[in-house]
Structure 1
């Protein structure tokens, strides 16, 4: 598992498929797509400043309140996964993230999530430095985005 440096506004998470993640059809089982996307979300959180130190010091984190997954192609045992993530929307306390899972140069799945910044158990605005970093990473959402979250645009 690794988090290579970001490539512009695209943050990359890489992780191999574990044998325990393979289902009875010989492919990556549904819940493990979401697990890997969760690791990629953690990578985005680190990039915007909501990493482990911030979470511990502030009793704060990003909670997923909505997610949309598209399973586009099978992933076989032994594959090396690459998740490319972008921040496609932000408000005072919301962050919209787009993930693409790639294997061998082919798009296999996507996930978009809407996360809310939570401090001490309740939603709260991002600190100024985190909001600024989220704005720095913003890109336009892809056409494939669900449209249900589309009104969320800029910080």
Structure 2
């Protein structure tokens, strides 16, 4: 059996991510705190990216997928909203919603929350591209992966949509 075929067999046995996907609890690292005494803006993205990586593992498009099928994902666009400060010692957890997809793209929304108190600290809305890593070009998902993506998108569509989807950066109207 080829590596890709074995990966496909293992994929069939993997449970689908829940709706929404909830990451593991993460801790703020001391070097991420800036001179304002709170989490630097760049590290919100680091934590949300780690949560996406956790979900991608369950979706079947993590590092093993890259190795077996020579495909991966790249973020093409992100819109982060910083709503409440996170500080050193605050545990965080991220909910990931798979909002939509087509043959080559995934539309996700993440909510970063304080893991024990539940308040919302930040959100990130993203467009992700599926990449053929040999050609370094955007490419369609394989049919088995696309089927999993469709199932997860449908299950995520059944839960209430979080506030903030579709926001844009603009000055308030007077």
TM-score range, shorter chain: 0.7 to 0.9
* Pairing 1:44-123 to 2, within 5 Å after superposition: 44-103=55-114, 104-119=117-132, 120=134, 121-123=136-138
Residues 1:20 and 2:40 aligned together: no
Measured after TM superposition, the shift of residue 113 of structure 1 is 0.8
Count residues with an aligned counterpart: 144
**What CA distance in whole angstroms lies between the structure 1 residues aligned with 2:126 and 2:56?**
12
Residues 1:132 and 2:142 aligned together: no
Structure with more helix by fraction: 2
Could you report, residue by residue, the CA deviation over 1:65-88 in whole angstroms, capped at 9, with x for unpaired residues?
Answer: 011100000001111010011111
1:73–1:46 distance in 2 versus 1, CA, 3 Å: same
**What CA distance in whole angstroms lies between the structure 1 residues aligned with 2:138 and 2:96?**
23
Measured after TM superposition, the shift of residue 100 of structure 1 is 0.3
For residue 125 of structure 2, give the secondary structure of its aligned residue in structure 1.
Answer: strand
Task: Report the TM-score, using the length of structure 1 for normalisation.
Answer: 0.86
* Structure having the higher Rg: 2
**Structure 1 regions of 5+ residues with no counterpart?**
149-155
CA RMSD of aligned residues (A): 1.8
**What CA distance in whole angstroms lies between the structure 2 residues aligned with 1:106 and 1:45?**
25
**Structure 2 regions of 5+ residues with no counterpart?**
1-14, 169-174
